[in-house]
């Protein structure tokens, strides 16, 4: 029996990302390298206790719809970011 997975939302523009973040129902793949860059830094730095929160704060300041406690940030080669809602 196949599991029911939500559809993946692919975004290339900031407006698409904002709309997808507001839905908070499905994984989001950020396909634009420039749009993904702050999230990539956040994902790579979250293992360091002080730098991760700083990177997250900077993302939240420019993109208030993103809440770190609601999304898991993963880096997938080549330079794509996947935001998965915490369940």
Q: How many domains does the chain have?
A: 1
Beta bridge partners, 29, equal: 10, 82
Q: In this structure, is residue 26 part of a structural domain?
A: yes
pLDDT (0 to 100) of residue 70? 79
Q: What is the pTM of this model?
A: 0.74
Q: Is 66 within the bounds of a domain?
A: yes
Q: Which domain holds residue 34?
A: 9-85
Per-residue confidence (pLDDT) for residue 1, from 0 to 100:
47
Parallel, antiparallel or unpaired: strands 80-85 and 9-11:
unpaired
- Please give the Cα distance from 85 to 87 (Å, whole number): 6
Ranges of residues in the chain whose predicted pLDDT is under 50: 1, 50
Query: What's the pLDDT score for residue 28?
Result: 93
In a domain, 1, yes or no: no
């Amino acid at each position: 029996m196949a599991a029911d997975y939500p559809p993946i939302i692919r975004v290339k523009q900031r407006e698409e990302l904002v709309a997808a973040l507001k839905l908070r129902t499905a994984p989001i793949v950020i396909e634009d390298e420039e749009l993904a860059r702050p999230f990539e830094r956040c994902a790579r730095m979250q293992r360091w206790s002080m730098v991760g929160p700083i990177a997250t704060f900077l993302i939240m300041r420019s993109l208030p719809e993103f809440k770190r406690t609601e999304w898991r940030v993963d880096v997938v080669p080549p330079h794509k970011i996947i935001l998965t809602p915490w369940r």
